[in-house]
Amino acid sequence: MNMKTITFTLNRKEQSFDIEPDETLIDLLRRTGHTGTKLGCDTGMCGSCAVIVDGRAINACILFAFQANGRTVETIEGVGDFDSPHPLQTAMADAGAVQCGFCTPGIVMTAKALLDEKPDASEEDFKLHLDGNLCRCTGYVKIKEALLSCSSATGGES
């Protein structure tokens, strides 16, 4: 197939990539080293591949890479790391909300998109926004505690 070149801002840095026309954004991200974004269902159903595109959480498995052209994309690598974690990552770890960890990057990205827009997000807001993020391990109670602790409504800081 004909390769195309696209350019977009990835984790605050403008970058160009050669892509296949039918390549998905998650395939592009993972082959370029952004493996914190996890491929679960590959059908837009589990949220493990969530990234933030122009401020909104989007499942990268159902977005073609060319659709990112000219846009701003944030992945978990741009949010925080072991040495400098984002408050959401710290809260997830502290609450024991991570077991296998496969769902965690998608949950953090989806929650971050919500808190960026609405720092005082309520429990109901989190429920609505994260209803597409599945976790097979935790039962969600600890995840809910962790996310809520980052809302300014509960004195948290995102």
Q: How far is the CB of 110 from ligand FES (least distance, A)?
A: 11
- Residue written as tokens 């591949």? 49
The nearer residue to ligand FES, 10 or 61, going by C-beta atoms, is 61
The nearer residue to ligand FES, 59 or 151, going by C-beta atoms, is 59
Which residue, among 115, 154, 156, has the nearest Cα to 107 in the 3D structure? Answer: 115
- Within residues 69-108, the interface with ligand FES by CB under 6 A covers 98-103
Q: How far is the CB of 132 from ligand FES (least distance, A)?
A: 7
The nearer residue to ligand FES, 56 or 136, going by C-beta atoms, is 136
Rounded to an integer, what distance in angstroms lies between the CA atom of residue 14 and that of residue 55?
Answer: 16
- Within residues 27-66, the interface with ligand FES by CB under 6 A covers 39-42, 44-49, 59, 61
Q: How far is the CB of 6 from ligand FES (least distance, A)?
A: 20
Establish if 138 lies at the interface with ligand FES (CB under 6 A).
Answer: yes
Kindly list the strands in the beta sheet with 50-53, ordered across the sheet, starting from the edge strand earlier in the chain: 13-19, 4-10, 72-74, 50-53, 56-59
Rounded to an integer, what distance in angstroms lies between the CA atom of residue 32 and that of residue 43?
Answer: 21
Tokens of 135: 């976790």
Count of residues in contact with ligand FES, rule CB under 6 A = 22
Rounded to an integer, what distance in angstroms lies between the CA atom of residue 68 and that of residue 112?
Answer: 19
**Amino acid letter at 144?**
K
Q: Which residues of this chain interact with ligand FES, rule CB under 6 A?
A: 39-42, 44-49, 59, 61, 98-103, 135-138
